[in-house]
Amino acid sequence: MAAKITPRFVELTYEATLKSFWRKAALRKFLLGSHVADTHVATWSADESKRDFLDRTFQKLQGSDRGKAVIFEMARALSEQTTFPDLRNWEESEQKIAEATKAVGELKAYLRAQDEEVRSEREREEAKNRAREEREKVQRGLTDKRKLQERLDQLHPSVGTQQGGYAFQTWFYDVLDYCEIQNRRPYVSAGRQIDGSLTLDGTTYLVELKFTGSQAGATDVDSLRSKVDDKADNTMGIMVSISGYSSVAIAQASGRKTALLLLDAMHLYMFLTGSMAFQDVILRVRRHASQTGEAFLPASGFGG
């Protein structure tokens, strides 16, 4: 039930009902069609006026939720009237029709106003719900990021161990899943172990993860490049080294048409601390490589 059953609403519905029907038979048919109980309509005696009958009818209807629903149904039916057949062919038909038109018009205007109020309330409520859901989503996201950061922090004592490397590998792909970056976890291709891949903006990157205590070197870069060179032309490589890179490794990865991007722990923490989305971190390094041929852009250089 959209409209509120206020005294004014009942009064307007009552007046529109009284003014729209002149014959008792026509009014009785309307009431029955609006689901006023047959047993109640049957109590309308021949010597009781329309007004008196409607007085007690509306009083009775207001006493229950079902009765209020009937009043609402009557109001909707009355507001849809454009002609008044029962008021034709009387000596004062023109006046009767004018009064009925006025009563129905007032009811229709009231219903429109209430519909607009209900719509506005609903829209406000929906906006509040959306805002609350967005806040909850952001909060969940912050919580999940904190958990990801805590997991990475807990891995640091195991840097350089095989167990730590596998745990870091799992952590990294959990990050990609969190960021909704399309990825494939580690697999074997042509006898070679691939640490996995990710796809971003139509480019697929083979992933090489280094969770070692020492910096990644030139041989690590050469290993990733050889894997990339075996793949399709639009394939690139991303190396993530928790301990960074030697200057030789960076120089080896860079150059004309380099297909490699190098990330370190600071790039990961840019995402974890909320400075940038991880997708944007990757794309920023990619743009730098395209513009300069340098495979590595330190986090400190992102502002330039």
Find all residues with CB under 8 Å of 100, minimum gap 6, and list them. Answer: 16, 19, 20, 81, 84, 87
> pLDDT, tens digit, for every residue of 66-102?
999 999 999 999 999 999 999 999 889 999 999 999 9
pLDDT score recorded for residue 140: 61
> pLDDT, tens digit, for every residue of 128-153?
778 777 766 655 655 688 899 999 99
For the chain, which domains are there? 7-120 (no CATH), 159-301 (3.40.1350.10)
Region 268-292: mean pLDDT is 94
pLDDT band (50, 70, 90) for residue 206: very high
As a whole number of angstroms, the distance between CA 249 and CA 293 comes to 14
Q: Across-strand partners of 194?
A: 187
pLDDT of 19 strictly over 60: yes
> pLDDT, tens digit, for every residue of 177-205?
999 999 999 988 777 788 899 999 999 99
pLDDT of 5 strictly over 90: no
Sign of the torsion angle spanned by Cα atoms 15, 16, 20, 25 = negative
pLDDT band (50, 70, 90) for residue 119: confident
As a whole number of angstroms, the distance between CA 21 and CA 136 comes to 56
- Determine the 3-state secondary structure of 209 from DSSP: strand
296 close to 254: Cβ distance less than 8 angstroms? yes
Assigned token pair, 211: 């969770």
Return the top range by mean pLDDT from 82-96, 241-255, 290-304. Answer: 241-255
pLDDT score recorded for residue 1: 45
Top pLDDT among 145 and 293 is at 293
pLDDT score recorded for residue 135: 67
Sign of the torsion angle spanned by Cα atoms 210, 211, 212, 213 = positive
Region 18-33: mean pLDDT is 95
Region 96-111: mean pLDDT is 94
Top pLDDT among 125 and 222 is at 222
